[in-house]
Structure 1
Amino acid sequence: MDEKEQLIARIAVAQRGLGRVFGAARWNPLMSLNLTIRQLKVLLTLVQRGSSSGHELTQEMGVSLATVTGVVDRLAAQGLVVRREDPADRRVRRLEPTEKATKLVTSIMDAGNAQYRELLSRLEVEELQALDRVVHRLAELAAEQSPAAD
């Protein structure tokens, strides 16, 4: 393994370690959720998009409409998703996150950001400047790779 590959491997191990620390925090809202991974994926997708049809979710998640319907039923029972008629096509039901869902997703994101910011505050200015350059470069590379960039 050459030096570049060794560095990539070390960085990946360190990032997994950070993920374990962030994920294991008892105050993390993820730890108190009563959602499956699939339900959480649907919820995150809906909060990001604002709304979606069941058909769009089946394509996004690569599952059947029956699976999406079951997941959405359970999310709706928890007050996290509502179904609405599509104003452009009355045959289509739009799925929308509730305010409760949006607050939940925001709290998950904010909790991780707060812990990350606390760690960053312990770095020296020079370390933060180097990290800033690297993170912005990674964001550029990710944007180039993203289907949205096409």
Structure 2
Amino acid sequence: MNTDQLNKLSGDLYNLMLYLHNKIFHPNDVIKNLPIPPSHVKVIIYLARCGISSISDTAKKLGISKSNMTPIIDKLISEGMLNRSNDPNDRRVLRIELTDKAHEFIKTQENAIKASLAKKISSLNSEDLEALSEHVIGITDIILKVE
């Protein structure tokens, strides 16, 4: 694929991202219904994907300063969403992991988002829904190959 084709495709992907953001999945709609701040949700989502992590690695990956990370972690622990423990190989390292309550929180939020998405696309006719389904599967398969 030549440079012009790559530039056109990247522009098309950018436009798709904006359309998804504006018409289908607007992050502000999700954030306003959450019972905890977005920074706390970022930590929960990160840990859901990576499992147990050190506090410093989590802060670094999420771009949160260590001084801001401490109150976030403390609040999530007090809410019963995280467990904190010492690393068995290095006592200086504190590790955090999600509790069952946090996993349930994620499942609840995921179900709410899916219901909202279903409501938004329910106005499409069956042919459009079928085409959208096929394209989403195809795009997902391709995107997963991107490094």
TM-score band w.r.t. shorter chain? 0.7 to 0.9
Instruction: Go from structure 1 to structure 2 and tell me whether the alpha carbon gap of 1:6 and 1:82 turns closer, same or farther (over 3 Å shift).
Output: closer
Alignment of 1:100-111 (within 5 A): 100-111=101-112
TM-score by length of 1: 0.72
Corresponding letter in the other structure for 1:87: P
Which residue pairs with 1:53 in the alignment?
54
Q: Is contact 1:52-1:94 (8 Å) kept?
A: yes
Corresponding letter in the other structure for 2:114: N
Task: State the Cα distance separating 1:83 from its structure 2 match.
Answer: 0.2
SS of the aligned residue for 2:97 comes to strand
- 1:98-148 superposed Cα distances (whole Å, 9 cap, x missing partner): 1111111110001111233355556444223311221122213321224xx
Unaligned runs of 5+ in 2: 1-7
Task: State the Cα distance separating 1:43 from its structure 2 match.
Answer: 1.3
Which residue pairs with 1:76 in the alignment?
77
RMSD of aligned alpha carbons: 3.1
Q: Is contact 2:21-2:27 (8 Å) kept?
A: no
Alignment of 1:90-101 (within 5 A): 90-101=91-102
Q: Tell me how far apart the structure 2 counterparts of residues 59 and 10 of structure 1 sit (CA, whole Å).
A: 30
- 2:44 counterpart of 1:38: no
SS of the aligned residue for 1:91 comes to strand
Unaligned runs of 5+ in 1: none
Q: Is contact 2:54-2:93 (8 Å) kept?
A: yes
Q: Is contact 2:43-2:58 (8 Å) kept?
A: yes
The size of the alignment, in residue pairs, is 139
Alignment of 1:128-143 (within 5 A): 128-143=129-144
Which residue pairs with 2:24 in the alignment?
18
Q: Tell me how far apart the structure 2 counterparts of residues 116 and 72 of structure 1 sit (CA, whole Å).
A: 31
